[in-house]
Amino acid sequence: MSRNAKINTLLLVLVAALAVIPLVFGLGDHKEEPFTGADAEAETAITEIDPDYEPWFSPLYEPPSGEIESALFALQAAIGAGVLAYYFGVRRGRRQGEARALERLRAEADTDAGAEAGTDAGTGAAPGRRRV
């Protein structure tokens, strides 16, 4: 197994452990909604500290349920991942295209150099060709 394969396997095991450990140990079982986001946790903490706190801003759109909010967040994450993947794909494609173009130019230069090496010394023309 190559070094990269070992590292990738280790990373996959770590990600799986991060996902499974909270479920196995029952972390969050004491809460009404055990896996709420950080925004909800912060809102709860703020209202416990200062019940009269008024937010500076209000949301432009308030989803009717937590499931819709989660779906919109997942959609936003998917769009962001798609944009990043597209950018890196285009960048890699350009790099590969440039490398192929350089290889092609070097191959043409090598064939031109080989053709010049086979020219007649006096005329500068390739053997079997007449100079016009």
Q: If you average pLDDT over residues 50-77, what whole number do you get?
A: 88
Distance CA 80, CA 76 (A): 6
Contact 128, 119 (CB under 8 A): no
66: which 2 tokens? 């937590």
> What pTM value is reported for the model?
0.48
DSSP H helical ranges for the chain: 3-24, 38-49, 66-117
Residue-wise pLDDT tens digits, 76-114: 999 999 999 999 999 999 999 999 999 999 998 888 877
Question: Cα 38 to the chain's mean position, in Å?
Answer: 24
Q: Highest mean pLDDT range out of 31-35, 67-71, 127-131?
A: 67-71
Q: Flag whether pLDDT at 120 surpasses 80.
A: no
Distance CA 91, CA 80 (A): 17
More confident residue, 58 or 86: 86
Q: Flag whether pLDDT at 24 surpasses 90.
A: no
Residue-wise pLDDT tens digits, 2-20: 999 999 999 999 999 998 8
- 118 pLDDT tier (thresholds 50, 70, 90): low
61: which 2 tokens? 């759109």
Q: What is the mean pLDDT of the chain?
A: 84
